[in-house]
A and B are shown apart, each in its own frame.
Chain A
């Protein structure tokens, strides 16, 4: 029995940890990389360097502190993202940029390695344990200056040379609401929405109806069986409507029992006594249900 309980607890813990992972640092993705920066984004010092953009693909804020960036496959802990900087937090579905300039003294977002502009480059993000790989990408050699290599859809999709460079912003610019435009174009009178939505509402409640019809039938059959068993034990025949009796019948029986027990009785519930009742009245303790009563000294 103890083992069973322990097993259930363990299973729940595993399930919870799986759920928790959805909003942890594992949701961060390498999103866009610029290897050769000649006439592009500048850092706080007014200098141009290669950069990598990270994207938080989750609905919760993620903190990158303590995680690692590296450009060597055998050395996952090459650059630790410093702790104690609030800017390492990435808001939901937002980005942050790291400068690949081998100048870590310039701040949190300047790593201690640089890309090779003439060859293939590798970059990876590791979790704070220094072992768990979160994301990695190999950037092919021959990158053009001021042309970035990134995911065609933020946080997902496939890596390719992007048509435009978008540091710290979405790779796909969201300048319209496709859903609404679709409805405006194809369903201007709302008939499509009405048919679809009413169908879904009906299907939902129809499924509930069918399920509860079966559950109801099962409950009625179970009640009938119980009634038959009880009747057989007493040598009687079960009533034909066993299990389907109206709630009104039970309400009437309950009312009759209530009347019998509480209304028509010979003995009153109150107690007559000559003992002094302990009731030190004060407006502050009159609400005996919610306030402490006066302490009584036992002699």
Chain B
């Protein structure tokens, strides 16, 4: 009798231990360790590099920290068991936050904040600098042509080309409409290269200019009246949006934000737009764009091609801006000439590109301050890239 009870207990405990082992095995199968692939490890390293660059070298930390950490969040490996964890699983928290990127409503809100913090005085006082902002948009279409040759279809090529506008929100907005499947790579590429403009641009600026050109001193911009500042966003919106209505979400919000700033009677709205609102959206946008680089979806040959094309588009945009200024100078009188070192600022990486003009200019003449002049093409670049995005959307959307 006793023997049989002991045998039963032993049998039961054996099956119980087996049950425990099974549970542990199931648990282990859910951990990141069991589901990690080389792709995840690569992406985690990329995220760490972004965070390192942001903290160590202060390359656009406001972008690279959220994106870098987002990459870590998005690349924690997990078992796809319908737990609504991943950014691509409908109904997950990350997926809900990602809708702002996917549906394209974060970018116009960012533009609202940009409008509310941008002082267009430099551009208004010297409006010819707008043309430099237009010339730099060649980066977009140069990359578009190369992307076509690499086998992308026209709408994908358009979405990739917009990286050359050096404008993250515009890139996200356009790619969400033209090539949603490439959006993660395009957004990360655009933001990464925007952070890396201090490395990408100076060599080409030096290469394409001579000592005499780098020393050109520009006339200080005149003081701009408040009336002019108020007229600018209204006329700017009417002219650009009538020409390219498809750029309306971006242009509308940009100029609306600017009117809030310049009208002088909506200070609270302007402060919210350029402060808490843009900060909140930047956090959500950065983290979700980073998290969208989930290795299983992101690590493809196309992503690598997009990264290559992105770098190329920045180079083309920089060169186009600098060369256009040199060309433009042929028609300008002595004393009105433009320093070609501000040509790079035609890409709309505000204000980093303008800061690079200033820094490179100071290397050659420590008393030649180009920052205010470079802000002209820089903000014209924002308008130009939004217009270019509208054109691409109109043609290919």
Contacts and interface: CB of A to CB of B under 8 A. Distances in A.
Interface of A: 179-180, 183-184, 187-191, 193-194, 196-198, 200-209, 211-213, 215-216, 219-220, 222-223, 243-250
Contact of A180 (B154, B227, B231): B154
A210 B144 CA distance: 29
Given A201-B384, A205-B380, A209-B131, 16 more contacts: A179-B395, A190-B141, A190-B154, A198-B138, A200-B243, A201-B134, A202-B135, A204-B240, A204-B244, A206-B130, A207-B243, A208-B127, A208-B236, A208-B239, A215-B124, A215-B231
Contacts of B388: 197, 201
Interface residues of B, number: 53
B377 to A, nearest CB: 10
B125 interface: yes
Nearest to B132: A205
Interface of B: 121, 123-125, 127-128, 130-131, 133-135, 137-138, 140-142, 144-145, 148-149, 153-155, 157-158, 219-225, 227-228, 231-232, 235-236, 239-240, 243-244, 372, 380, 383-384, 387-388, 391-392, 395-397
A191 to B, nearest CB: 7
A201 B123 CA distance: 16
B154 A200 contact: no
B153 A191 contact: no
B240 A180 contact: no
Output the residue of A201, A203, A248, A249 with the most chain B CB within 10 A.
A201
Interface majority SS (helix, strand, loop, mixed), chain A: helix
Contact of A208 (B130, B135, B219): B130
Given A205-B383, A219-B228, A246 B243 contact: no
B391 A197 contact: yes
Contacts of A219: 224-225, 227-228
Contacts of B236: 208
Output the residue of B127, B142, B148 with the most chain A CB within 10 A.
B127
A223 B131 contact: no
Nearest to A202: B134
Given A209-B130, A247-B223, A193 B144 contact: yes
A209 B388 CA distance: 17
B392 to A, nearest CB: 7
Contact of A201 (B128, B235, B391): B391
